[in-house]
Amino acid sequence: MSHYQYQGENLLCEDLEIESITNEIETPFYCYSLRSLRDNINKYKENLKNTNSKICFALKANSNLEIVKIIAEEGLGADVVSIGELQKALRAGISAKNIVFSGVGKTESEIEFAIKNNCFQINAESISEIKKINEISGNLNIKQNIGIRINPDVRPDTHSKITTGSIENKFGVPIKDVKELFIQSNLFENINFKGLAFHIGSQIMKLEPFEEACKITNQLIKEVESNGFTIKTVDVGGGIGIDENEKFQFKKYFNLINSYFAKKDRTIIFEPGRTIIGNTSILVSKILYIKETEDKIFVVIDAGMNDFMRPALYGATHEILPILQCDTKKNKVIEFVGPICETSDKFLTLDSFQKINEGDFIAISNTGAYGSSMSSNYNIRPNIAEILVNKNKFLAIRKRQNLEELISE
């Protein structure tokens, strides 16, 4: 994680000791680094500066209003999957002309809202949805741009619950139906068939699955264009993974995408989520209890799977860091667990860890993506606070939810 490092025994976010934040903010809380967010955005901007492209941040990865406002100020667009995300993107200041509306189950009112608000493109995922968009566009007398999300049937090497581009997944239109759809496009007189879209999954660390999806899409483009159509947009989705060593080959990825799709009068749409926000944040939590059995040590922390779901949901691994580092090590299996009444409420199991005590603070790493946005009130636990660090200061960007509000519903 960039911009998180130790100075002596202290874990710092940018120039601020995390311990100092724990004096003011009740744990658990999400802590973000502004510098890290700007670095991630700049990586995309730098690599794409000579490409006709749109960078549309996937709001599902993180929809904190202040975070989305920063993303808007940086000039990025948004990829949204619900009317809520669409409204949040607009409220944060993202122009509708930079918003792509994705998702397999859009309702009529969501489609209507997107069309009325001049959403740049709706990515349709089925023939029924295309008919529905056509009908609503007709009623509104607005010709809507659509992309067709294809299912390229590729199987990236990632967790089975986060693959989205293979034929057994619910997403996208099978390749064999796409050509036919273009041929019949004159039947849908209220929509413009602008382009094609794919998104093959998440947390993908290798280039090969992207290359396979590009190859298949490119072949399809050739076939569609040979029938007299023009593909004006190619949406390559998101899906790039993050890890501690930052080993994903970004440069090669952008070269790959450009080599397949860059063309005059064509826009390439990127929908990154995790690579923009994932490594900008840690989840800071306090150790409530330490329970030692014959085989292992359970460390019960005050963050639960409702606050950060990825380990319980996908078996995702997120490193745990002490807020105050020390040299003494305890060599026994140690399991960091939450307070929720579910066995799956655990974060990490290690063979050893530094010596720790009840009341100490720890940080779960890389929690910016699919952390706060996936959190819930399970066990009637309030949503936790979120803070943003800028150099040696921090700002609360979401207050801890009021318990009274929660119990009165």
Residue nearer to ligand PLP on the CB measure, 14 or 271: 271
Distance of CA 220 to the CA centre of its chain: 27
d(CA 233, CA 269): 7
Closer of 102 and 233 to ligand PLP (Cβ): 102
Number of helices (H) and strands (E) in the chain: give both, helices first.
Answer: 12, 23
Say which amino acid occupies 200.
I
- Among residues 239, 275, 56, the alpha carbon closest in space to that of 147 is found at 56
Residue 214 appears among annotated catalytic residues: no
Contact set for ligand PLP, span 273-312 (CB under 6 A): 273-275
Which residue lies nearer to ligand PLP by CB, 240 or 301? 240
> Count of CB atoms within 10 A of residue 131's CB?
14
Question: Which of residues 156, 165, 209, 239 is near ligand PLP by CB under 6 A?
Answer: 239
**The one among 3, 106, 194, 199 contacting ligand PLP by CB under 6 A:** 199
What is the SS3 assignment for 367-405? CCCCCHHHCCCCCCCCCCEEEEEECCEEEEEECCCCHHH
3-state secondary structure of 77: strand
Classify the C-alpha dihedral 298-299-302-305 as positive or negative.
negative
Q: Quick check: 37 binds ligand PLP (CB under 6 A)?
A: no
Minimum CB separation of residue 57 from ligand PLP in Å reads 9
Among 156, 209, 272, 371, binds ligand PLP (CB under 6 A): 272
Query: Residues 369, 385, 387, 388: which binds ligand PLP (CB under 6 A)?
Result: 369
C-beta of 58 vs 133, nearer to ligand PLP: 58
Q: Which stretch binds ligand PLP (CB under 6 A): 151-159, 235-243, 326-334, 347-355?
A: 235-243
Q: Which residues are catalytic?
A: 341
Which spans of this chain sit near ligand PLP (rule: CB under 6 A)? 58, 60-61, 79, 102, 164, 199, 202, 237-240, 271-275, 369
